A = this chain, B = another copy of it.
Amino acid sequence: MASPSTAQNGVAAAEAFPDGTQDYKPLRSNKYDSKKPHITELPITWGNWYKHVNWLNTYFIIIVPIMGCVGAYFTPLTYRTAIFTVLFYFGSGLGITAGYHRLWAHSSYKAKLPLKIFLAAMGAASVEGSARWWSHGHRAHHRYTDTEKDPYSVRKGLLYSHIGWMVMKQNPKRMGRTDISDLNDDPVVVWQHKNCEPSFPTLLLHLHLKCVLTMSLIFPTVVCGLGWGDWVGGFIYAGILRIFCKQFPNLSSFVRLSRLLTDIVVVQQATFCVNSLAHWLGDQPFDDRNSPRDHVFTALITLGEGYHNFHHEFPSDHRNAIEWYQYDPTKWFIWTMKQIGLAYDLKQFRQNEIEKGRVQQLQKKLDQKRAGLDWGTPLEQLPVISWDDFVAESKNGRALVSIAGVIHDVTDFIKDHPGGKALISSAIGKDATAIFNGGVYLHSNAAHNLLSTMRVGVLRGGCEVEIWKRAQSENKDVGMLFD
């Protein structure tokens, strides 16, 4: 309380820049002497490893869930608590996806006050910090994707992007600068930030009164306790674990054990997957310069945030999934809120822009594939052969056919020719341009491709007509010329 930080004075800490932008300023960085190197700049040793760990985050992300798992093993799950847990799972998940992410980090739609309050409360219940802190990091993630300034860069490993970036202390100088001036103007965000961001020294004293704990643990406990007397179950299941439950009381110990294992799939872990799995697993239909990927599995466990290649290309679109058959309950929630008047100005990129990205990415993949195939010797690398040499060689047992000014060696192909041996043989030593292109048979595209792999030379002058031209220039009588 002795710190002069603005947060203590009722204003969220921010740094203003001359270009009109404002960046987030961590409260606790005040405590470090900027002359001393930050702990993250020192290598991890047996003597200092515990200083590298962010114990507050570790407590919320690892220790509390483990306590929950252990508790679950001893606590029977009642029917009504199970239902409430599922509802609360969706509710607190939407706090992150529809609230922190799409509303505040990306301003992909506008929300009326009641919806904002609901989302801020539910977001707090997910124990992922305040909307202001979360959005600031997320904007840096989008702006500096895959670089050193990306707070959860997948280039540092899947585990790092999933949980390591929170469990280990971060160098405040490293994260990229972002603009959060719009968030500083939003009273709900500022209020939630002041009441959610725990200041470390006062943590143990004050934390229990703050909204994180209120929403995440006390609220579900009270609902289940007052509602149907299941105080412990509400605390363990709806509070700490908030899992998808298929278990019911009185199951065999085998099921109890497997329950213990499935229990680790909590809403927290699920939403963290957006930072890890969504940058690691799946397709890249829009752009493959960076790591974001689309995958239905990621979408299923993150309430629809799994179409992440799309999302990084079109971050301010209120949708993550653009096809009707894709799973994006967050989009459906926002749409429902719009119908009842609580959301408006839903942003959406034009379909034209989306299709352009798809076309370009497909083109890129196609070009890569094309480059790996054999299209025959390029014309400029072929020897030039005269008509007479071509005819002479054809008579010497080499089956040469001239088509469109290019000489092809079909010796090995005669027996395989789909149109039979007789027809292709009848063209040896001749110009078969017309025959091949409809005169006898209009060959398929595949036949043209195959033909190009048989190129052995270019005809001097281009066509059989060449002999007529030469005859004329030598003033010989070749008959019927220019009749």
Q: Which A residues contact B (CB, under 8 angstroms)?
A: 19-21, 106, 142-143, 179, 181-182, 286-287, 289, 312-316, 347, 349, 352-353, 355-357, 359-363, 366, 369-370, 373-375, 416-423, 425-426, 441, 444-446, 449-450, 453
Contact of A444 among B312, B359, B363 (CB under 8 A): B312
Flag if B445 contacts A289 (CB, 8 Å).
Answer: yes
User: Which residue in B19, B353, B418, B426 is a CB contact (below 8 Å) of A315?
Assistant: B418
Residue of B357, B418, B445 touching A106 (CB-CB under 8 A): B418
A374: chain B residues at CB < 8 Å are 352
Q: Is the CB of B422 within 8 A of A21?
A: yes
Given contacts A313-B445, A313-B446, A352-B373, 19 further A-B contacts (CB under 8 A): A179-B423, A181-B420, A181-B422, A286-B445, A287-B445, A289-B444, A289-B445, A314-B418, A349-B446, A349-B450, A352-B374, A352-B453, A353-B449, A353-B453, A356-B373, A356-B449, A359-B373, A361-B445, A362-B366
> Which of B313, B441, B445, B449 has a CB less than 8 Å from the CB of A143?
B441
CB of A426 within 8 A of CB of B19, answer yes
Q: Are A370 and B366 in contact (CB under 8 A)?
A: no
- Given the known inter-chain contacts A353-B449, A426-B20, A445-B286, please indicate yes or no for A420 contacting B373, CB distance below 8 A: no
Residues of B close to A420: CB separation below 8 A:
21, 179, 181-182
- Contact across chains for A353 and B444 when beta carbons are under 8 A apart: no
Residues of B within 8 A of A370 (CB): 359
Chain B residues closer than 8 Å to A355, beta-carbon distance: 369, 373
Min distance, Cβ A65 to any Cβ of chain B, angstroms: 34
Contacts of A181 in B (CB 8 A): 420, 422
CB distance from A356 to the nearest CB of B (A): 5
Shortest Cβ gap from A347 to chain B (Å): 6
Q: How many copies does the complex hold?
A: 2
- Give 17 A-B contacts (CB < 8 Å), ordered by A residue: A19-B426, A20-B422, A21-B422, A142-B418, A143-B419, A179-B419, A179-B422, A179-B423, A289-B445, A315-B418, A316-B417, A316-B418, A352-B453, A355-B369, A356-B373, A356-B375, A360-B449
* CB–CB A363/B360 < 8 A: no
**Quick one: closest B residue to A179, CB to CB?**
B420
Bound together, the chains give a CA A356 to CA B143 distance in angstroms of 39
Contacting A369 at CB < 8 Å: which of B314, B359, B361?
Answer: B359
Q: A19-B422, A21-B420 are in contact. Are A444 and B375 (CB under 8 A)?
A: no
Considering the complex, give the chain B residue whose CB is closest to the CB of A452.
B356
Cα A449 to Cα B359 with chains together (Å): 11
Least CB distance, A321 to chain B, in whole angstroms: 16
Q: Tell which of B286, B366, B441 touches A359, judged by Cβ atoms closer than 8 Å.
A: B366
Give chain B nearest CB distance to A426 CB in angstroms.
Answer: 5
How far, in angstroms, from A337 to B426 measured CA to CA in the complex? 34
CB distance from A179 to the nearest CB of B (A): 5
Q: Is the CB of A286 within 8 A of B446?
A: yes
Closest-CB distance, A212 to chain B (whole angstroms): 28
A137 and B418 CA atoms in complex are apart in Å by 15
**Alpha-carbon separation in the docked complex, A106 to B373 (Å):** 27
* Residue in contact with A446 in the complex, picked from B106, B357, B426, B449, CB distance below 8 Å: B357
- Please give me the residue from chain B that is nearest to A421 by CB atom: B182
- Scoring A142, A363, A373 by chain B CB atoms within 10 A of each residue's CB, the highest score goes to A373
Residue numbers in B under 8 Å from A444 (CB-CB): 287, 289, 312-313
Closest to A444 in B: B313
Evaluate whether A450 and B353 lie within 8 angstroms (CB atoms) in the complex, with A181-B422, A420-B182 already known.
yes
